[in-house]
Amino acid sequence: MLLLAFSIDDHACTAGSTLALMLALLALFPAVLALATPLQQPLSLPAHSDAPRQLIPPHVDAFIREQQAYWNSSGLAVAVVRRRSPHQPRHSPEDQWDVQFGSYGVARADGTPVSPDTIFAIASDSKLFTAVGVGLLVKNESLRAARGRELRWDTKVKDLLGPEWGLMDDEMENGATLQDMLSHRTGMPRHDLSGFARKGGLVEMISTLRYLRPSTSFRERYQYNNLMYETLAHLPPTLLNQTFESYVEQHIFQPLGMNASTYSVAEAEARTLADGTRALAHGHHWSMKDALAGMTGVLTPSEYFQRPGEERIWAGAAGILSSARDLSRWIAMLLNDGRHPFTNETVVPADVVEHVALGYSVSLEKAEFPETSPKVYGCGQNRFSYRGHEIIEHGGSNPGYKSIVTRLPYEQIGIVVLTNDDDGVRVMEPVKFRILDELLGFGDDPTDWRGRYIDSVAKAIRQNQAVTPRPNATAVRLPTTPFEGMQGRFWHPTYSAFDPCFVGNATHTPRCAAVLRTPIVQRILTASLSSDQVPTFIVPFKRTFSTYIRLAHFDGNLFNASVIWTTPSAEASDLEDVVVGLDRRYLAEWVPDADGEDGWAFRGDFWGKEGQVREPEGVGRESAEVWFQRTL
């Protein structure tokens, strides 16, 4: 088994040591680098096609390999698409496009190399498929005739979903349109930790949105929200009596020949490549990493983070599993104004492609770097400029996988970068920009994105080192309620049950005893914050992005809350356990109440806001972004 287990000490990663580290890593990973051979070919391979132009020239390919080695990253798949100049010979529609694939590193724990056909989770790059699907419904004349009225981008959600739909704020509930949901301007923050596979599916999930606290007023500012895209996936069943997944497959995957793409985990896990190897890449995680404690962790592979059947509720927001080859067709279609890149037949109406790319909310008010601009958000896409060139793109982030799909409409360039490294953004973004610099004529003066990411990691380390430590044992104040009295069942109508188990209790309930003796919980308890030194609770919390919450006492009624994700099936597979999220910390406050309505108030961005928004005012329950109230 080929496993990248070397960990770079981020404390030592300075610009001055970059070259030495890079050379050392290159020497350590000859097997991986041998797999990193770029593949260049047209989208189709007619016998008479002229040789395509280099889109990933050798020196850029070398940069990608060095970047991957520097960060000890697992696997990377790249697709670059560009429309050929009208002056180049064309013998068929296929000759309109050049595409080059770059395949680097390993896809799976057994050393299977990445290829253009390796399947990755593309996470939130699925949102554009959902947005285009909504656009196809808007353009559906048969649906318009059947409903007796047209479906519009500004159709109100309450008029489509009826009593299932509801939000905490009346203005949001009554005013929200399809466009508001698509452009993240409902005023609702992420609330991602409320997501899980419910028995009632999407209908049940939608019915619980009314209990989630908004972070801004309606249309006040951009607030990214996956739950709204999950809700949009309920439109095909509601309007057409067709599943969302089959709707996208029928209208997008099949017409484009995206044969590897699917929403089904079982389907992706069963697929094999021509050489008989499994197609779906393992996610790779830096297990047991705790940046706050200076622990870098070990790069460890895992199965896909959702098990078959759990992914249905996640489909509209981030459910697609796809390959670089399939996405090269998708991005070429978008560059071709919705027409198939080979046949020029319309797959998506041009006005839908245009509409979803227009900016409807401001996602970034201020440019992050001198070369970039502020960003606006359309439908599943950001729009901004880089070195004077307009870019339309979106990124994706699922546990163990990262993605970026970028296109330049005026230059007719598309770039796809997929990685199975949970920290892969620091590889993926410099790779994307290095390719852009080359294709835009800045190859002799590329922006040092690698240096910027090295600096950002160093900055994060400094911030972690500045975190306020827990007071020493003699200065710590005990909570106003004994630790044992904080156990029981607590409830939020959307987040569901919250059942803390106190580790230090001499006698546990049968439920807590079973939780605390599991091997994965024992690993959590031996992590950076030892339960022998700090009073600790473990809360089983199986959600889309979590498995447990660890509550470590800080002072008085305050606790540090770490949201931890562990592998779903490690004990039943040949792969090692994965524990991530030890440094993913929030603030939890125990709130006792004289009337017996005590509970847990979560703050510190547990709800997942965007930008500078007002924190909830008040104390105790009133201050909570999310409130769990005692029921038992």
**pLDDT tens, 556-607?**
999 999 999 998 654 456 788 999 999 888 999 999 985 668 999 999 999 9
427: tokens are 């590889």
C-alpha distances in angstroms, 336 versus 107, 264, 332? Answer: 31, 28, 6
- Give the distance, in angstroms, between the CA of residue 390 and the centroid of all CA atoms in the same chain: 24
The 10s digit of each residue's pLDDT in 467-523 is 777 787 778 999 999 999 999 999 999 999 999 999 987 788 999 999 999 999 999
Question: What distance separates the 2 farthest-apart alpha carbons in the chain?
Answer: 83
pLDDT score, position 380 = 99
The total number of residues shown for the chain amounts to 632
Residue 50 three-state SS: coil
Angle at 59 between CA 56 and CA 76, to 5 degrees: 55
C-alpha span between 75 and 111 (Å, rounded): 10
> What CA–CA distances, in Å, run from 229 to 178, 233, 327, 428, 531?
10, 7, 20, 25, 39
Task: Give the whole-number percent of the chain exceeding pLDDT 70.
Answer: 89
Place of tokens 């990933």: 56
Spell out the residues 6+ positions from residue 81 whose beta carbon is closer than 8 angstroms to its own: 43, 55, 97, 98, 99, 328, 331, 332, 335, 413, 414, 415, 416
Closest to 236 measured CA to CA, from 226, 249, 224, 245: 245
Query: Residue 576's pLDDT is what?
Result: 86
How far is residue 397's CA from residue 474's CA, in Å, rounded to a whole number?
42
- Distances from the Cα of 146 to the Cα of 141, 149, 278, 614, angstroms: 9, 8, 44, 44
Q: Determine the Cα–Cα distance for residues 366 and 386; give it in Å rounded to an integer.
A: 14
Average confidence (pLDDT) over 136-160: 96
Q: Which of 93, 15, 14, 27 is nearest to 66 (CA)?
A: 27
Q: Are strands 558-566 and 546-555 parallel, antiparallel or unpaired?
A: antiparallel
Question: E strand or H helix at 434, and its extent?
Answer: helix 425-439
Pick the closest to residue 234 from 168, 316, 300 (CA basis). 316
Q: In which element (H, E) is residue 538 found?
A: strand 536-543
Q: For residue 162, which amino acid is it? A: G
Q: Is the pLDDT of residue 17 over 50?
A: no
Alpha carbons 392 and 399: distance in angstroms, whole number: 24
Contacts of 345 (CB under 8 A, 6+ apart): 255, 339
The larger pLDDT score, comparing residue 239 to residue 15, is at 239
How many C-beta atoms surround the C-beta of residue 441 within 10 A?
10
Cα distance between residue 487 and residue 331, in whole Å? 51
Residue 64 has phi, psi (to 5 degrees) of -60, -45
As a whole number of angstroms, the distance between CA 14 and CA 27 comes to 20
Question: What's the pLDDT at 508?
Answer: 86
Q: What is the mean pLDDT of the chain?
A: 89
Distances (CA, A) of 359 to 179, 220, 376: 11, 15, 5
**Single-letter amino acid code for the residue at 177:** T
Q: What is the mean pLDDT of residues 452-464?
A: 87
Contact 49, 91 (CB under 8 A): yes
Q: Which residue has the tokens 């080359």?
A: 438
Phi, psi (degrees; rounded to nearest 5) at 249: -60, -45
77-94: pLDDT as tens digits = 999 999 998 777 666 667
pLDDT one-digit tens code per residue, 97-141: 999 999 999 999 999 999 999 999 999 999 999 999 999 999 999
Residue 437, token pair as written in the block:
């610099």
Which stretches does DSSP call E strand in 290-381? 298-302, 321-323, 361-364, 375-377
What DSSP assignment string belongs to 171-237? Answer: HHHHH-BHHHHHTT-SS----GGG----TTHHHHHHHTGGGSPPSS-TTSS----HHHHHHHTTHHH
Cα 483 to chain centroid, rounded = 36
pLDDT at 31 over 50: no
Question: Does the global pTM surpass 0.85?
Answer: yes
Distance CA 13, CA 72 (A): 12
- Per-residue pLDDT of 179-193, as tens digits, reads 999 999 999 999 999
Angle at CA 143, nearest 5°, toward 137 and 144?
A: 100
Percent of the chain with pLDDT over 90: 78
pLDDT at 2: 30
Alpha-carbon 545 to chain mean position: 10
Is the pLDDT score of 457 beyond 90? no
Q: Rounded to 5 degrees, what angle do the CA atoms 622, 628, 631 make?
A: 120
- Return the residue matching tokens 């296109």: 407
For residue 349, pLDDT beyond 90: yes
SS3 395: strand
Query: Which residue's entry shows tokens 């560009």?
Result: 82
Read off φ and ψ for residue 56, nearest 5 degrees: -125, 80
DSSP-derived letter for residue 123 is G
More confidently predicted of 315 and 40: 315
